[in-house]
Chains A and B, each alone.
Chain A
Amino acid sequence: MKSDGLAIELRGLRKVYTRGKKTTVALDGLDLEVRRGEVFGLLGQNGAGKTTTVEICEGLTQQTAGEARILGRCWRTGMDQEIRARIGVCLQETRFFEKQTVRETLQLFAACQGRGCSVDDALALVSLQEKADARQSQLSGGQRQRLAVALAMLGEPELLFLDEPTTGLDPQSRRQLWDVLRAYQRRGSTVLLTTHYMEEAQVLCDRIGIVDHGKLIALGSPQELIRSLGADTVVEFSVGDVNALDEGAMRQLPGVQSCEIRGGKVTLTVALVHTTVPPLLAWLAQRGAELLELATRHATLEDVFVARTGRHLREEESA
Chain B
Amino acid sequence: MNMPAVFAVAKLSFREFFRQPEAVFWTYGFPLLMTIVLGFTFRPAAPPLIRVAVVASADAAALCAVLAKNPRLAVAVLDAATADQSLARGRIQALVRGPSGDLTVRADPMRPDAELARLQIERALRGGDWQGPHQEAEDRPGARYIDFLVPGLVGLNLLGAGMWGIGFNLTEYRSKKLLRRLFVTPLRRSEFLLGFLLSRLTLLIPESVVILAFGMLCWDVPFRGSMVAASAILIVAALSFVGLGILVASRARTVEGVAGLMNLCQLPMWLLGGSFFSTEHLDGALGAVAAAMPLTQCNNALRDLMLEPKGLADVAYPLCFLSGFAALSFTLALRLFRWT
Contacts and interface: CB of A to CB of B under 8 A. Distances in A.
Interface of A: 58-60, 81, 84-85, 87, 89, 91, 93-97, 109, 112-114, 151, 155
A95 B181 CA distance: 8
Contacts of A96: 178, 181
B184 A85 contact: no
B184 A89 contact: yes
A106 to B, nearest CB: 12
B266 interface: no
B76 to A, nearest CB: 57
Interface in B140-197: 173, 176-178, 180-188
B184 A97 contact: no
Nearest to A93: B177
A157 to B, nearest CB: 11
B186 A84 contact: yes
A28 B13 CA distance: 37
A114 B181 contact: no
Contacts of A81: 186, 188
A113 B177 contact: no
Contacts of B176: 95
Nearest to A85: B186
9 closest residue pairs by CB, A with B = A112-B185, A112-B187, A89-B184, A84-B186, A85-B186, A81-B186, A95-B176, A58-B184, A95-B177
Given A95-B178, A96-B178, A97-B178, A60 B184 contact: yes
Contacts of B340: 60
A81 B184 CA distance: 9
By secondary structure, the B interface counts as loop
Interface in B222-246: none
B185 A113 contact: yes
A59 B173 CA distance: 19
A114 B186 contact: yes
Interface residues of B, number: 14
B249 to A, nearest CB: 16
A97 B173 contact: yes
Contacts of A113: 185-186
Contacts of A58: 184
5 contacts: A60-B184, A84-B184, A84-B186, A112-B182, A112-B186
Nearest to B187: A112
Nearest to A161: B184
Contacts of B186: 81, 84-85, 112-114
Contacts of A87: 184
Contacts of B181: 89, 91, 94-96, 151
A91 B176 CA distance: 13
A96 B180 CA distance: 11
Nearest to A81: B186
Contacts of B180: 60, 91
Given A59-B184, A89-B181, A91-B180, 5 more contacts: A84-B185, A91-B177, A95-B178, A109-B185, A112-B186
Contacts of A85: 186
A59 B183 CA distance: 9
Nearest to B176: A95
Nearest to B339: A60
A232 to B, nearest CB: 40
Contacts of B182: 112
Contacts of A93: 177
A93 B177 CA distance: 9
B192 to A, nearest CB: 9
From B180, B182, B186, B340, residue with most partner A Cβ within 10 Å: B186
Nearest to A148: B181
Contacts of B185: 84, 109, 112-113, 155
A93 B187 CA distance: 20
A96 B181 CA distance: 9
Nearest to B185: A112
A95 B173 CA distance: 9
Contacts of B188: 81
